[in-house]
């Protein structure tokens, strides 16, 4: 008993040390990226506008009006963060809102890393979980998402917390832990509806338990677990759904109704066919391309390509026969991978794209298999070394090779990691500064990208309404487009050259 207590205390101290190191590194990187951000994500201006709406029209903000019914959980977090910043003397300007939103993303990333560490500890042990989360911290694109105005890390926070409770409940046969998992799913649903997938995993696990003869929990406990799982989800979601007047956002409805939203190229390909035939042909034609886009491009880009083989090898190693995984790990990880790959394929089928940030949950909740794969690759390299050079195995040689591989991967990441976010779009900031210096706060500016007027702290109108504007900003890619003024009574007054032979041209209305 005494030895068990000492071992448990040593494990807790090790966990505290690991988490402290990981949070310090992640916070340092995050603060650096926030301080050097050149341009926020275009979606970020919409989230800030929705957050500002909470002060004037809370109901419309919750409903996502006029933001295509977008979920309001992340804008609400921005609103609360900005309130706290102002309370302690922070700025109420556009920059005050921007830094509040970026701080929310970073804090959610730090919270998610703690949950991910404990998930990894359950799956592969504390030491390997430390290396896994460290790899995730230094990956450039996930790090950028955590310092930008995007809802990916807030979503991953609740997804990871709920997933952790599901694993604990399943592995320790504690029925009451399904309740917190349901609550996490409900709170995450208000940020991204995809967080409801936790309910699918938990309910499926419990239903299988009810059908199995050798169940880990008694039938009454399984039923109670299912009830509190659903209740935990419904409690935060019910008032939210009632206020919004609908369960699913517009985009999710479109994903589930492929006949209503198809990629342009798909519609053109089958222009004369009926809806049902079109849907089937699009799905079958795009599935292989979606897999290629998902794995070869997006997931591999998130892993900087270097860690992709390690991830695949690690997954194979853990799930091969004889299995190293527990029944809970095999079920929940496999279900998570299948469901999220399916969602990515649906996204590509309907909209024709898969972005790196949409793949973040897949990367974050499978990152634990990267150090496993690196260890296997180190074994293979050691075997090759001994076979090729006829050398004798050396003590700790594999661990040294593991550190070498890990170090190489970190070095590969550092070059991109330390680059300011969207440094290639510095021209947007230059145009915004010119507008701020040369226009009055009452001027209306027609733009195709709202970030320009956000940084200029000016009022924007859509390009289609440029007749109401005093200035217009256009992106041109050739001389012919540059010569085409918005209207005859517009005069070019400023030009900034961007990369890829494009320019930002500012026009002024001549009266």
Could you tell me which residues come within 8 angstroms of residue 274 by beta carbon, excluding any fewer than 6 positions away? Answer: none
Lowest mean pLDDT across 1-5, 121-125, 225-229, 245-249:
1-5
pLDDT at 432: 95
Confidence of residue 446 (pLDDT cuts 50, 70, 90): very high
Q: What is the DSSP letter of 68?
A: T
Query: What's the CA gap between 506 and 497, in Å, rounded?
Result: 12
End-to-end CA, the chain:
88
Class of domain 423-509: alpha beta
Q: Is the pLDDT of residue 414 over 50?
A: yes
pLDDT tens for each residue of 239-293:
999 998 877 666 666 666 654 444 443 333 333 333 333 333 334 446 666 667 6
Tokens, residue 282 = 């699009």
Cβ neighbours for 80, distance < 8 A, ≥ 6 positions apart = none
In this model, does residue 395 exceed pLDDT 60? no
Lowest mean pLDDT: which of 174-178, 211-215, 445-449? Answer: 211-215
Mean pLDDT of 180-196: 96
Q: Residue 473 pLDDT more than 70?
A: yes
CA distance 105 to 98: 11
Secondary structure of 173-187 in HEC code, one letter for each residue: CCHHHHHHHHHHHHH
Q: Is the dihedral of CA 467, 469, 475, 480 positive or negative?
A: positive
Residue 462, beta-bridge partner list: 447
HSE on the CB side for 412, CA within 13 Å?
Answer: 17
User: Positive or negative, the Cα torsion across 118, 122, 125, 129?
Assistant: negative
41-55, 206-220, 243-257, 448-462: the lowest-pLDDT one: 243-257
Sheet order of strands, 490-497 included: 459-462, 444-447, 471-476, 503-509, 490-497
Under the banding of pLDDT at 50, 70 and 90, the label for residue 380 is: confident
**Lowest mean pLDDT, pick from 34-38, 329-333, 497-501:** 497-501
Tens of pLDDT, residue by residue over 194-250, are 999 999 999 999 999 998 876 778 889 999 999 999 999 999 999 999 998 877 666
Give the residue, 324 or 180, on which the prediction is more confident: 180
Q: pLDDT grade, residue 484 (50/70/90)?
A: low
**Strand, helix or coil for residue 213:** coil
Residue-averaged pLDDT of the chain: 85
Give the 3-state DSSP-derived string for 261-274, with helices as H, strands as E and coil as C: CCCHHHHHHCCCCC
What pLDDT is recorded for position 92?
81
Does the pLDDT value for residue 2 go beyond 90? Answer: no
Residue owning tokens 């005859």? 488
Q: What are 130-175's pLDDT values in tens digits?
A: 999 999 999 999 999 999 999 999 999 999 999 999 999 999 989 9
Question: Which pLDDT tens digit goes with each residue over 280-324?
Answer: 333 444 666 666 766 677 889 999 999 999 999 999 998 886 677
Res 115 pLDDT > 70: yes
Where would I find the beta strands (DSSP E) of 463-502? Answer: 471-476, 490-497
Given this model, what pLDDT does residue 287 score?
Answer: 65
| pLDDT bracket for residue 398 (50, 70, 90) | low
* pLDDT cut 90: percent of the chain above it: 59
pTM: 0.89
- Residue in this structure with the two tokens 């709170």, named with its chain if needed: 187
H or E segment and range at residue 104:
helix 94-124
Task: Note the pLDDT tens digit of each residue in 339-371.
Answer: 999 888 888 877 777 888 999 999 999 999 999
Q: In the structure, what pLDDT confidence band is assigned to residue 117 with cuts at 50, 70 and 90?
A: very high
Residue of 476, 432, 379, 333 whose CA lies nearest to 98: 432
Q: How far is residue 241 from each of residues 56, 285, 492, measured CA to CA in Å?
A: 20, 36, 48
Give residue 250's pLDDT.
Answer: 64
Q: Which helix (H) or strand (E) holds 71?
A: none
Q: What is the average per-residue pLDDT within 457-471?
A: 87
Expressed in percent and rounded to 5, the helix, strand and coil fractions of the chain are 70, 5, 25
3-state secondary structure of 166: helix
Per-residue pLDDT at 498: 85
Torsion of Cα atoms, 152 then 339 then 251 then 448, to 10°: 50
| pLDDT of 433 above 50 | yes
More confident residue, 385 or 469: 469
Domain ranges of the chain: 1-149, 423-509
Residue whose structure tokens are 């500890």:
121
What percentage of the chain carries pLDDT values higher than 70?
A: 84
């Amino acid at each position: 008993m005494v030895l068990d207590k000492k071992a448990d205390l040593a494990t807790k101290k090790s966990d505290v040390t690991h988490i402290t190191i990981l949070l310090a590194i992640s916070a340092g990187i995050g603060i650096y990226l926030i301080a050097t951000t050149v341009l926020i994500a275009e979606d970020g201006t919409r989230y800030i506008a929705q957050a500002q709406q909470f002060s004037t029209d809370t109901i419309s903000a919750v409903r996502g009006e006029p933001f295509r019914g977008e979920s309001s959980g992340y804008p609400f977090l921005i609103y609360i963060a900005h309130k706290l910043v102002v309370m302690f003397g922070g700025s109420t300007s556009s920059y005050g809102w921007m830094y509040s939103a970026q701080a929310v993303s970073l804090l959610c990333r730090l919270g998610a890393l703690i949950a991910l560490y404990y998930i990894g500890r359950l799956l592969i042990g504390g030491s390997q979980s430390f290396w896994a989360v460290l790899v995730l911290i230094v990956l450039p694109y996930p790090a950028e998402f955590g310092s930008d105005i995007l809802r990916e890390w807030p979503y991953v926070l609740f997804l990871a917390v709920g997933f952790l409770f599901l694993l604990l409940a399943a592995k320790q046969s504690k029925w009451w832990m399904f309740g917190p998992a349901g609550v996490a799913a409900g709170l995450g649903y208000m940020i991204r509806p995809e967080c409801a997938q936790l309910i699918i995993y938990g309910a499926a696990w419990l239903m299988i338990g009810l059908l199995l003869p050798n169940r880990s929990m008694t039938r009454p406990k399984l039923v109670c677990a299912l009830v509190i799982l659903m209740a935990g989800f419904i409690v935060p979601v019910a008032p939210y759904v009632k206020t919004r007047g609908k369960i699913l956002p517009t985009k999710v409805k479109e994903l589930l109704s492929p006949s209503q939203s198809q990629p342009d190229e798909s519609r053109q390909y089958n222009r004369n066919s009926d809806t049902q035939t079109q849907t089937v042909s699009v799905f079958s034609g795009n599935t292989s391309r979606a897999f290629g886009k998902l794995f070869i491009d997006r997931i591999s880009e998130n892993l900087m390509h270097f860690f992709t083989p390690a991830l695949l090898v690690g997954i194979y190693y853990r799930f091969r026969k004889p299995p190293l995984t527990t029944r809970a790990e095999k079920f929940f990880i496999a279900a998570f991978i299948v469901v999220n790959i399916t969602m990515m394929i649906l996204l590509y089928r309907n909209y024709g794209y898969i972005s790196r940030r949409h793949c973040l949950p897949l990367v974050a909740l499978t990152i634990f298999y990267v150090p496993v794969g690196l260890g296997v690759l180190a074994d293979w390299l050691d075997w090759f070394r001994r076979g090729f050079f006829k050398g004798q195995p050396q003590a700790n040689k594999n661990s040294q090779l593991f550190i070498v591989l890990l170090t190489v991967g970190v070095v590969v990441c550092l070059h991109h990691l330390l680059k300011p976010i969207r440094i290639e779009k510095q021209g947007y900031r230059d145009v915004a500064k010119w507008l701020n210096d040369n226009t009055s706060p009452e001027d209306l500016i027609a733009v195709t990208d709202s970030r320009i007027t956000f940084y200029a702290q000016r009022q924007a109108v859509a390009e289609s309404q440029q007749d109401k504007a005093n200035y217009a900003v256009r992106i041109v890619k050739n001389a012919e487009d540059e010569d085409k003024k918005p209207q005859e009574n517009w005069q070019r007054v400023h030009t900034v050259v961007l990369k890829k032979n494009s320019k930002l041209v500012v026009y002024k209305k001549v009266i």
